[in-house]
Each structure stands twice: as structure tokens, then as C-alpha cells.
Structure 1
């Protein structure tokens, strides 16, 4: 099996300007976020994909919709792709939380697993459901390509899990995924390879027919 997954963080939302943790709150896309979704649709039409999947949250589904329409596909909603719930941090900025409990913010910044915000979804649980969803998509589209629209934190945790990196270090290894940008991974029977990170949809995508990297590369 060699399946390619094109991982996309949804477009900009109304909370991005204030850098608030959206988590499981269903926050609307801004006009810029809708434009990023349209750019993704244009990019996907050139790149090609065999399926389009998204988180059930509206910001992800709306970002995926233009790409699905351009490809003549439906958006497959996967519950496992929902963003991490941030508990105490939900809907708040880091500055607001630090003013209330600076030690909690320090622990989170040091290790987002052991120092997770009170009441938040455990990082290991988020990793398990996200990687299960991604691997299932890869199995269903063996030797194909799937465009997956989800969320900044969930996708970074999943990348760490798939690549064998410490889950609590996801913020350090992958500081952020840009809104509307594409991160490509290749899931094989033998493991996962990271092919690109944060590629803007304003660039020309590689040909859809390009095959896996030769052995030994």
C-alpha cells in the first residue's frame, strides 16, 4: 500500500485574529478563510485526488467543499478528524490563561501532553482517533490520493504519532500548520513518510500521476 494524504488546515476563522483556541467550538470562516477554501479548490483541480474527507466542524467542511466540487466528489465527514477539545483553554487566548494561571500555561508550553489544559482531551486519545481515521482512508484508497481537511492541533498530533515523534512535543516539532496550506504524507505498509509541509495553494501542485519515491531515496 502506498497512499498519499494531502492534509489541509481549514481556512481562517473569526477567532484567528485574536489567536483564540477554537477547539470543538464551531467558529465561522472569515472572508479570507472562504477565499483560502476557493484557492484550495483551484489547487485540488490541478493536483487531483480520489477522495475528499473532512472534520465534522463547519470550518473544515466549508474549506473542503470547493475542492470536492472541483473534483466531482462528495465530502466524506469523519468524526475522528474533529479538533481537540481544549477544556479550560477553549475560546481563550494564551494571554488570558497566563493572567489567570501562568504555571498552567508554562506546563502546556513545555509539554502539551503532560501539561495539557485542565478538562482537555488527552493528547494520546486525540492521536489514536486521528491516526485511525487517516489510516482507514489510506486503506480505502490504496495507491490513491485523499485530500483531508482538518485542524491545526489535531493534524500536528497525528503527524507526530504517524512519524514516531513524542506527542507532547507537537508544538515544538510542528510550530503551526498554515490555514489552507497543504502538508503531504505517504502512508505505506512499512510506515509513514513526510513529503512536504505547509505548501501554499498558490503554488503549482505536482502532477497527480507522480509515483512514490524510489527505494533508497
Structure 2
């Protein structure tokens, strides 16, 4: 059976996101993608962002199977196998010694993780996952390291479009711990974790790209 899953939004947002990543990612580094979902972004970004190494991850076994299946369908020499990783973990798999088996070929001293990419997770997860993401970025990123976020946000307590308000309501009906977050709250959590806000880009479909950097 084909384990690949599909997220229609990926086809719409991958090119605009790629444009931003090309501007903000450090060169010649490893990029850790937190909450890779279906894996469609990973197989699209990895070959286009070489020679950077792309490390996809997700806590969901079905997502991990989908990422692995997409990687098999669209192989790239700089795309690593998916890592089982929950942003809320006190120690992420990439911080463990020794590294998980799927990462044994990764030399983090030669190609260190200098960027974390997180797309469409913050609103489809408990707030504790956002706090875990910030804490992990603080632990893992060196000075100059980049945290890239993509998704919908409220700004100054208000939704930026009626469609986002409807989306927020549908998310909370699925799980009361989910929902479109206040951008200011996310920025405050990042600041508390020692990350400095650098820039916001307006993106298609009322989404934002938000970038932080480790001082």
C-alpha cells in the first residue's frame, strides 16, 4: 500500500515559502523541519535548497510513514529519513548521544543544525507544542541560527480575514487545545526562549512567514 499522504495546501504554498527560505536560511547547514506532516514540503525543499541537509521529523507514526514514502518516491541525496520527534520533548532526538539510527550518517560537527523550519503546526497543536518548539530552538540553535514559522495568526487579538476566523472555529471544534494563535503571544514565547524577532512576510491565503534568530 502507498503510505503517501497529501495536503492540498502544500501545492499552493510551497513556492512562496521556498522564496523566503532561500533568503533566510544559512548556507551549507543542516535544516531541522519540526512537524513535517505529509512530507511533501521536505521532498520539494530539499533538492532546491542543496547543499543544505534537510532533516524531516514528526511525532505521528502515519506522518513518518508518509514522509518515508515520499522520500522513496522523490529521493534526494541531502534529504534524510524522518525522525520521530515531538516538539514538547525535553530532549529532541537530534540532541541525543548517540544519534538515532536514521541519523548515524549525519556529522553535526561538519554540517551543524543552524535552522529550524516549522510549517502549519502552531495552530494544529496544543500551546505546549509551541513552547516546546521555542525551548528546543533555544537549546539547539547556535548564534545566528534561524527559526522559520509559517501559518495563520491573529494580530492584535483580531483575525486577519473572515476565512481565518472560520478556520479557527473549525479547529477548536476538532480540539479545544487547537486554534489560530495571537502572533504577539508567539513572539513573546520566542523572546522568553532567547530568540530575537527579525521579520514578517505577508503570504498567500492570509498566512504569515515569521522569522526569529538566535543572538
When the two structures are superposed, what TM-score results if normalisation uses the length of structure 1? Answer: 0.37
When the two structures are superposed, what TM-score results if normalisation uses the length of structure 2? Answer: 0.37
Give the number of the structure whose residues are more often strand, by fraction.
2
